[in-house]
Structure 1
């Protein structure tokens, strides 16, 4: 491996960060049975997939077969057999979770070489839309949506025959079932003039996706919303989250990320954000949390007054907050987050958090060299 290869520094930081999580990994091992693949290797492989824009676990294992660079980074020997792609599927709900992704991000930020790069007082927040893996044709009226057995376990099984309502009906022969009419999956659909909303429609492909548009003049799409909390000194991501898309999601997620970043802290922080965060209830909540709201002012009915805007730090925070767009752009172009890969919020939240941790690793090479 070349001495100046960028993966050398990244591998060193990841190795130390995962070593600090040994106690977490020990609890994942069973007391008996055949030996399993080390969690550290699966996490390194997942980070490698993000850093090199590999589209799937199957392609990643194909690279692992003949790429010595990947084997060296993950920790496989030159003669070791690469894993089957289903290893990631079986470990996604056990190891590759949101909680573990957050711990990996925190361990990287707590590294002895990374911690001095972080700002202790000035942070920024923003959100971005992530297109869901669901087409607009799947956005159907709720009356046609399949029933959810988890919500109403008392429903009878849908076996095509109605349950008898009386003893006489129970002895009668059931009517023969009719085959439903065939409908082409790619049939032409004209949505012109049809009013659709999240209150009346739901996606049959991903029921947790929401129809949303972030700004006027843009088309609505089925999507989720990713959120990040960035420190203003080096532009590293401190917290990440993913929620359903709506007009209040950005402010709610920012409050949650602030609580996770500094729970019960009494030191004063400044939070920079765009005009979408200029809300009276949000600004009041920040002040109760001892957080100075360096939020961009709306042209009318702004909750930010002169006691904040008159200070020199307010203008500086407004300039620095725009750096948060760079990690979002990296996550969508390099990290593959322009569109979701899995169905449901929980799995995509874990993937988004790990992608933002990989974005920090990609930036550390230049930051540490400087």
Structure 2
């Protein structure tokens, strides 16, 4: 018998949001890890709102704000407005963020304003660090063997915004720049002054930033992430900073630390800087018409061969960040905001990897 096309709704319900989320949903273990990290940030959150306390209505809880920002990364949601629309009717999103079914959804502009407060106090970096500490406690980090690489991030700015710094732009009025010489020394983007015109390899010249990560070789988890302005030296300079931080984090100064990288890092000054820091450079040798700066004594070791295999894991983080996390072209402007989104995306990537590693561990028991 055909059922009637009717809709009746009870004025009351006894269901909880918890009832609508399957027990094996992949967000469940991630939410547990996120909540554990957020629980360690209570002092930071208290200081954030004490510094801005002016009375009035309570703002968005920072824990909810960070969980909502992570959702935006996990589900490739391009804008705060779209995120707020989804939270309005998506029970899974409400459950993950910590909003009850009857709670009002935030206005997108209020959400964006509160996100700026997180940027001011480096809350995203703090979250990233606590997630990484959790991975270390689980034994998923070697803490000694790393790989480094960089990737291009397209800025939220067009070629038309790239005008002369002195205001005497020769734009022909139709958006054409044919016959004009433009460079970062004489021009800058009026939309995003931190973006730089840059090309790498066979890619077209675009307004870009450069994202850098340091990955741990044991399972490919991201141990450090940072965004810089795009130029020909940014990759090696960022690598030196991240390698130095990793070196200083080791409790024993005598512990060997290795750093894998591709041929782009095979430069004399970079190899010498690594050795001076006590870091063994497992950099791929570039012998195309030149002599490699990597000593043959290092390149012949078994550890070097292992690093060359493991360093490819870092590309998985970049691939995930660009296809899922929306880092291929960011929808925020300014170096600090792009850096915040990049670090948050890498924290989200680590959480997905840690969830998988946890499942493998359970299956092996």
What TM-score, normalized by structure 2, do the two folds share? Answer: 0.86
Indicate the residue corresponding to 1:38 in structure 2: 61
- Structure 1 CA distance for aligned equivalents of residues 188 and 121 of structure 2: 25
Question: How far off its partner does 1:306 sit?
Answer: 1.1
Contact 1:108 1:114 in 2 (8 A): no
Give the one of 286, 289, 292 matched to 2:280. 292
- Structure 2 CA distance for aligned equivalents of residues 369 and 264 of structure 1: 29
Indicate the residue corresponding to 1:7 in structure 2: 27
- Structure 2 CA distance for aligned equivalents of residues 301 and 97 of structure 1: 46
- Structure 2 CA distance for aligned equivalents of residues 291 and 244 of structure 1: 25
Indicate the residue corresponding to 1:53 in structure 2: 76
Give the one of 260, 266, 271 matched to 2:245. 260
- Structure 2 CA distance for aligned equivalents of residues 360 and 97 of structure 1: 23
Contact 1:47 1:354 in 2 (8 A): yes
- Structure 1 CA distance for aligned equivalents of residues 98 and 246 of structure 2: 32
- Gapped runs of 5+ residues in structure 1? 147-182
Contact 2:150 2:212 in 1 (8 A): yes
Contact 1:98 1:353 in 2 (8 A): no
Deviations 1:344-365 (A, max 9, x none): 1011111110011011112222
Closer/same/farther in 2, CA of residues 114 and 92 from structure 1, 3 Å limit: same
Question: How far off its partner does 1:264 sit?
Answer: 6.1
Deviations 1:9-53 (A, max 9, x none): 000000101101111111112356233321111000000111011
Indicate the residue corresponding to 1:156 in structure 2: none
- Gapped runs of 5+ residues in structure 2? 1-20, 361-365
Aligned CA-pair RMSD:
2.0
Equivalent position SS for 2:156: coil
Indicate the residue corresponding to 1:25 in structure 2: 45
What TM-score, normalized by structure 1, do the two folds share? Answer: 0.85
Contact 1:212 1:221 in 2 (8 A): yes
Indicate the residue corresponding to 1:315 in structure 2: 305
Indicate the residue corresponding to 1:190 in structure 2: 176
- Structure 2 CA distance for aligned equivalents of residues 112 and 255 of structure 1: 24
1:231 correspondence with 2:216? yes
Indicate the residue corresponding to 1:130 in structure 2: 153
Give the one of 341, 344, 367 matched to 2:357. 367
Matches within 5 A, 1:238-249: 238-249=223-234
Which sits farther off after the overlay, 25-34 or 266-275?
Answer: 25-34
| Higher RCO (CA 8 Å, separation ≥ 6 residues) | 1
User: Which is richer in helix?
Assistant: 2
1:270 correspondence with 2:258? yes
- Structure 2 CA distance for aligned equivalents of residues 19 and 8 of structure 1: 17
Question: How far off its partner does 1:256 sit?
Answer: 1.7
Closer/same/farther in 2, CA of residues 326 and 97 from structure 1, 3 Å limit: farther
